[in-house]
């Protein structure tokens, strides 16, 4: 589990502008351990970093944005891994967990 304070306090502006980031850099910026990032690749179809020589992962800025969105869904919104993946796939981030899209009480 990432350090919630660390992940929440980081903004994209604090991350250096680069074309690619290593898994250790992504871990440092997001507070998510490398083994968790690797696991998330198996659960989130959109999280698919480029592989270069020796099968090393290279993450883009868009990958970082996605990781921060995953952190938000899992640790702030309370989604399960499967629920967060469905939410990202449907493009309906911001809907309430457990509620059908377009339906609100109150």
**Integer-rounded Cα radius of gyration of the chain:** 14
Is 105 or 30 the better-scoring residue by pLDDT?
30
The span from the CA of 36 to the CA of 41, in Å, is 9
As separate numbers, helices (DSSP H) first and strands (DSSP E) second, the chain gives 5, 2
Model's pTM, two decimal places? 0.75
Q: Which of 6-10, 26-30, 68-72 has the lowest mean pLDDT?
A: 6-10
Alpha-carbon gap, residue 20 to 75, rounded angstroms: 26
Domain 4-90 matching CATH 2.130.10.10: the answer reads: no
């Amino acid at each position: 589990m990432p350090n919630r304070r660390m992940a929440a306090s980081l903004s994209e502006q604090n991350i250096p502008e680069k074309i690619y980031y290593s898994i250790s850099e992504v871990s440092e910026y997001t507070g998510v351990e490398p083994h968790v990032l690797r696991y998330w690749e198996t659960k989130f179809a959109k999280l698919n970093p480029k592989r270069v020589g020796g099968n090393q992962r290279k993450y883009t800025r868009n990958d970082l944005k996605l990781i921060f969105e995953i952190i938000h869904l899992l640790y702030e919104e309370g989604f399960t891994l499967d629920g967060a993946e469905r939410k990202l796939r449907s493009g309906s981030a911001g809907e309430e967990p457990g509620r059908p899209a377009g339906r609100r009480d109150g």
